[in-house]
Amino acid sequence: MKSCKEKANEWGITVRAVNELCKKGKIPGAVKIGKSWQIPNDAGKPADGRIVSGRYAKKSEAEGTKPLPVGISDYVRAQSEYYYVDKTMLVKEFLDRKAYVSLFTRPRRFGKTLNMDMLRVYFEISDEDTEKYFSDKAIWKCGDKYTEHQGKYPVIFLTFKDVKFDSWEATFRKIAELVQEEFGRHSELADSDKLEKYEKDYFEKILGGAVSEVELSASLQKLSKMLCMHYEKAPIIIIDEYDTPIQEGYSKEFYDEIIGFMRNFFSGAFKDNKYLSYGFLTGILRIAQESIFSGLNNLTVNSVMDEEYDAFYGFTQAEVDQMLAYYGVTDKAEELKDWYDGYFFGKEEIYNPWSVINYISRGCLPQAYWVNTGKNEILDDVLKTATDDVTEKLYALLQGDRVVARIDQNVVYRSLTEDPANIYSLLLVAGYLKTTKKQLQGDGSWLCEVSIPNREIASVYKREIISHLMQVGAMGQATANKIAESLYALDYQKLQVGIGEYMKKSISFYDSGAEGFYHGLVLGLVALMDDRYKIRSNRESGDGRYDISLIPRDPKYPGIIMELKSEKDLDEKELETLSNEALKQIDDKGYDTEMREEGIEVILKLGIAFSGKKVKIQTA
């Protein structure tokens, strides 16, 4: 006989899991002797339906367990070969509202492409009987009012999610290829007796690939007309991730070219196009005031702030509960919620779908899956303009605080750097923030209380937001690690050297030398320690407001208070005097009062003085 520990090592699972299997009678011959279970030496590992080592423990074939659709955006394949979270009621909500042109803005990897492909398959005329892909779905239970639309429309479908290039020339070629492929998908038009010769000539020219910008910009309007003539039914046009090439144009400096093209491209498709039944677009941002949708007064925008369609992008609590039960990992519900829940779209609580399916499919290993899917490069430009107030609020968010921010859904790319407060609007629509309270203002903007949604995004903040603000790339990871290590070890000489190295490697970045800048600098460095400390900034304590305090999460670590001062053109002796003044101020103002009231007995005090690139630290 063997113990639970021995069998746990043999089977590669936890001792607790072996105990549970014994209790449930899943290990033949296991007996309880005293308080411990004893298991036969030759007992095999039972199949308990849980996920082990990143793979699904196989259930019986009768149970029909399906894999999760990691990276699958093809609706037909997703619903037939994988575990599919049924979002087909999106069709019903759309048909009830009958918006002429709908724009859905959601963060990346929240199911936009899969939903758009589902709409394509549902509405599109096809030689194949596509009813079979919906007959067991929720939409099919809604009656003839909705099912009579299935398979009745020609559809134009383009996804720009992979149009990410460094130049306008390469971007144009890729868009031309996508349009060429879509024309090719409608090859029936080449022999249609309902089209004029000049229309067929244009069709062949697009297929040939040798088209100018002017010719390509009219392609959606011309294709919709040809499809309408051929089928005697105006088509539906679906554009997925429409703003991806626009974002690339902004960050790669061909913005004017992409905007000029998209203006004509979308205008022909959606503005006064009598050959259009309905239009759908998805993206991350609503590009307003850029003249892309100029005069398009039939556009209905649905964002993360709106209650319409709020449950169709991302997973709801009920959908997650059902998924956990299906894979036999309901015991992971709390961990899953902590890491990937927390978004609010309209009034619906939403989980990040990309992260949920990766978490379950990889053995319920909690980590930041979403951060590995790419990022909004425009964050670089916006974060470079962040004021002291914005910077401090971003650090406050990292510590779990809520901050009040104005959210403008009509944020314009070119205006992002004009007003640093626009960063909150960008972070919200891009999935980095959630709204906890909101109030609509008279100008159409929202006054919101925002916070970080979950643990995954907190780690994303560390990796993306903090690294941008602190220019980790400029100082090098080795220097960043040295600073973090010196703080962990409470080695102040090493800390002083590390900060000095950081500043010397970032000369152009440190021309201002204002005290607010140094405050942000130190906040960024200590933010790397938020797993060990709760970090507070500019809080009242004693007879004043300290600069920075690090309150230990575990009482075995000391509390740390930092007071910062800066003056220009100081020599070494003057810099040392200034650091002593900072240290003395901590005692004079009683900045340790807050920590002492929280029961922290060991408190280290740091007076830090800056002058240009030089730094001096005094401790007590």
pTM above 0.95, yes or no: no
User: Which residues, 6 or more positions from 583, have their beta carbon under 8 angstroms from its beta carbon?
Assistant: 563, 605, 606, 607, 618, 619, 620
Residues 100 and 184 in one domain: yes
Lowest pLDDT segment from 146-160, 173-187, 463-477: 463-477
Strands 343-345 and 155-159: unpaired
- 397 vs 593: CA distance, rounded Å: 24
Residues 165 and 106 in one domain: yes
Q: Where is pLDDT greater, at 477 or 612?
A: 612
The pLDDT, as a whole number, for residue 620 is: 77
Residues 185 and 289 in one domain: yes
401 backbone φψ class: left, alpha, beta (φ>0; ψ -120 to 50): beta
Residues 360 and 378 in one domain: no
Q: Where is pLDDT greater, at 576 or 55?
A: 576
Q: What is the mean pLDDT of residues 298-304?
A: 87
The answer to whether 525 touches 518, Cβ cutoff 8 Å, is no
Of all helices (H) and strands (E), which one includes residue 431? none
Q: What is the mean pLDDT of residues 585-611?
A: 89
Any domain includes 328: yes
Residues 129 and 27 in one domain: no
CATH number at 246 reads 3.40.50
The pLDDT, as a whole number, for residue 51 is: 37
Of 407, 427, 457, the residue that ends a domain is 457
Any domain includes 359: yes
Q: What is the mean pLDDT of residues 538-559?
A: 82
Whose structure tokens read 């040809």?
Answer: 226
Residue 483 has pLDDT above 90, yes or no: no
The pLDDT, as a whole number, for residue 480 is: 62
The answer to whether 581 touches 565, Cβ cutoff 8 Å, is yes
- 509 vs 384: CA distance, rounded Å: 10
> Exposed, middle or buried by CB within 10 Å (0-12, 13-18, 19+), for 196?
exposed
Residues 328 and 298 in one domain: no
Whose structure tokens read 């033949």?
Answer: 28
The pLDDT, as a whole number, for residue 166 is: 94
pLDDT in tens, 451-467: 999 999 888 777 666 66
Residues 352 and 329 in one domain: yes
pLDDT in tens, 248-285: 898 888 988 999 999 999 999 998 899 999 999 999 88
Q: What is the mean pLDDT of residues 140-152?
A: 97
Any domain includes 278: yes
Any domain includes 468: no
- 68 vs 78: CA distance, rounded Å: 9
Of 256, 275, 302, the residue that ends a domain is 302
- 193 vs 205: CA distance, rounded Å: 18
Of all helices (H) and strands (E), which one includes residue 485? helix 477-489
Q: What is the mean pLDDT of residues 143-170?
A: 96
Task: Tally the domains of the chain.
Answer: 5
- 69 pLDDT band (50/70/90 cuts)? very high
> Exposed, middle or buried by CB within 10 Å (0-12, 13-18, 19+), for 325?
exposed
Q: What is the mean pLDDT of residues 36-50?
A: 70
Residue 426 has pLDDT above 90, yes or no: no
For the chain, the residue count is 620
Q: What is the mean pLDDT of residues 407-430?
A: 76
- 357 vs 72: CA distance, rounded Å: 11
Structure tokens at 511: 């021309």
- 23 pLDDT band (50/70/90 cuts)? confident
Q: Mean pLDDT highest for which of 391-400, 464-473, 500-509? A: 391-400
- Integer-rounded Cα radius of gyration of the chain: 29
Percentage of residues of the chain with pLDDT beyond 70? 84
The answer to whether 536 touches 524, Cβ cutoff 8 Å, is no
Single-letter amino acid code for the residue at 460: V
Any domain includes 51: no
Lowest pLDDT segment from 281-285, 289-293, 305-309, 387-391: 289-293
User: Which residues, 6 or more positions from 536, have their beta carbon under 8 angstroms from its beta carbon?
Assistant: 399, 548, 549, 551
What ranges in 271-368 are assigned the alpha helix state H? 317-326, 333-340, 353-361
Single-letter amino acid code for the residue at 333: A
User: Is the Cα dihedral 341, 344, 345, 348 positive or negative?
Assistant: positive
The pLDDT, as a whole number, for residue 514 is: 60
Average pLDDT, the chain: 84
Q: What is the mean pLDDT of residues 56-83?
A: 77
Q: Where is pLDDT greater, at 414 or 544?
A: 544
Of 344, 366, 388, the residue that ends a domain is 366
- 580 pLDDT band (50/70/90 cuts)? very high
The pLDDT, as a whole number, for residue 58 is: 38
Any domain includes 362: yes
Compute how many other C-beta atoms are within 10 angstroms of the C-beta atom of residue 461. Answer: 22
Any domain includes 465: no
Any domain includes 66: no
The pLDDT, as a whole number, for residue 467 is: 63
Listing DSSP states for 557-593 in one string gives SPEEEEEEEE-SS--HHHHHHHHHHHHHHHHHTTTTH
Residues 350 and 378 in one domain: no
Q: Cα-flanking dihedrals φ and ψ of residue 540, to 5°?
A: -75, 135
Residues 583 and 528 in one domain: yes
The pLDDT, as a whole number, for residue 536 is: 80
Percentage of residues of the chain with pLDDT beyond 90? 47
- 102 pLDDT band (50/70/90 cuts)? very high
Residues 439 and 548 in one domain: no
Residues 432 and 520 in one domain: no
The pLDDT, as a whole number, for residue 284 is: 87
- 159 vs 140: CA distance, rounded Å: 27
Q: What is the mean pLDDT of residues 53-69?
A: 56
Structure tokens at 199: 């229309």
Residues 207 and 351 in one domain: no
User: Is the Cα dihedral 207, 208, 214, 215 positive or negative?
Assistant: negative
Domain range enclosing 325: 317-366
The pLDDT, as a whole number, for residue 133 is: 97
Taking CA 27 as the corner, what is the angle to CA 23 and CA 33, rounded to the nearest 5 degrees? Answer: 60
- 411 pLDDT band (50/70/90 cuts)? low
The pLDDT, as a whole number, for residue 296 is: 72
